[in-house]
Amino acid sequence: MSSKILVCTQCGYVGKAEGAIKGSMLVEIFLWCLLIIPGLIYSAWRSSSRHTVCPKCKNPNLIPADSPRAQKIMNESMSKEEIEEVVSKSKKEEEKSGNFKKKIYIAVGVSIGFFILINLIALL
């Protein structure tokens, strides 16, 4: 199993985690409107508080699916077919996101190349 697949120790969720940031965007905006220093301090704190949580129960205690404890949790709460289905679904999602990233890099490269070509033509 891939280590990108995580298991929630609280609810037994198996899959990808979601990102979370402590604090409030509204408070951050308010502090930026007051003065630069309070907004900067609050923004720095919020940025440093990024962590992953379970999409179902928001618990931050997620463990890799290939760990012994995760295997025990999955075997107690899921059938072998369900485990295989979740793992194959997560692998397919990883492949899709990898292909999307490749397409983005290609598009950016082509755009930069086109921009350079236009500038070279303009110089002539």
pLDDT in tens, the chain (124 residues): 344 788 888 888 888 888 888 888 899 888 888 877 888 888 899 888 888 899 889 889 899 888 888 888 888 877 778 777 777 777 777 676 666 777 788 888 888 888 888 888 888 7
User: Can you give the length of the chain in residues?
Assistant: 124
Q: What is the pLDDT of residue 80?
A: 76
In a domain, 110, yes or no: no
Integer Cα distance of 116 and 111 in angstroms: 9
Q: What is the pLDDT of residue 97?
A: 66
Q: What is the pLDDT of residue 2?
A: 40
SS3 114: helix
| DSSP label of 4 | T
In a domain, 66, yes or no: yes
SS3 73: helix
Q: What is the pLDDT of residue 98?
A: 65
Q: What is the pLDDT of residue 86?
A: 76
Q: Which residues contact 8 (CB under 8 A, 6 or more apart)?
A: 14, 54, 56, 57, 59, 61, 62
In a domain, 50, yes or no: yes
Q: What is the pLDDT of residue 90?
A: 72
Full-model pTM? 0.53
Q: What range does the domain containing 23 cover? A: 6-94
In a domain, 113, yes or no: no
Number of domains into which the chain is organized: 1
In a domain, 111, yes or no: no
In a domain, 26, yes or no: yes
In a domain, 123, yes or no: no
